[in-house]
Amino acid sequence: MPRSSILAALLALMPTLGGAALAQHALVNDPTVRQGFYAIGLADEIRKNCPQISPRLVRAYTFLKSLESYALEAGYSQAEIKQLTDNDAAEDALRAEIRADLAARGATAGNTSGFCAVGREEMARGTQAGRLLKAN
């Protein structure tokens, strides 16, 4: 896979979903969706910056599909889902939050060992981000 963002690639794979029911709040603010995209983004930052860790692409795709199913069951509309997949500002804000979290944990630009340590920690703890990664 090219060095492009796994998050962007996975979002591009997300099909347009249907649904007539109205959701209670914006999909971008839904805690389940937000936590899911945070995990995907965290795994993406780790795999891009640690050569000893790779993404589990099938698992990531399956997880993304579970987020789609959740959105459908929660009653989000096709327009709301499309709006989320096209929301560059929300993705940038989430990436900034992830990078700040990583920096606080010792994973900063150019510090490969920091990213690898965080990745190993996520995998050992069995977090959602950790389940999207594997050691090479």
**Residue 24 is encoded by which pair of tokens?**
């209670």
DSSP 27: G
**Residue 9 is encoded by which pair of tokens?**
């690639």
DSSP structure string for 68-129: HHHHHHHT--HHHHHHHHT-HHHHHHHHHHHHHHHHHTT--TT-HHHHHHHHHHHHHHT-HH
Residue 5 has pLDDT above 60, yes or no: no
Position 80 scores a pLDDT of: 83
Cβ atoms within 10 Å of 86's Cβ, excluding its own: 10
- Give the confidence band of 130 by pLDDT, cuts at 50, 70, 90: very high
**pTM score, whole prediction:** 0.79
Q: What integer is the mean pLDDT of 53-70?
A: 93
Domain ranges of the chain: 6-128
Compute the distance between CA of residue 115 and CA of residue 86 in angstroms, rounded to an integer. Answer: 28
Position 11 scores a pLDDT of: 47
> Mean pLDDT, the chain, as a whole number?
84
| Helix 88-104 / helix 31-49 crossing angle, nearest 10 deg | 60
Contact 132, 40 (CB under 8 A): yes
Higher per-residue pLDDT: 6 or 58? 58
Position 29 scores a pLDDT of: 83
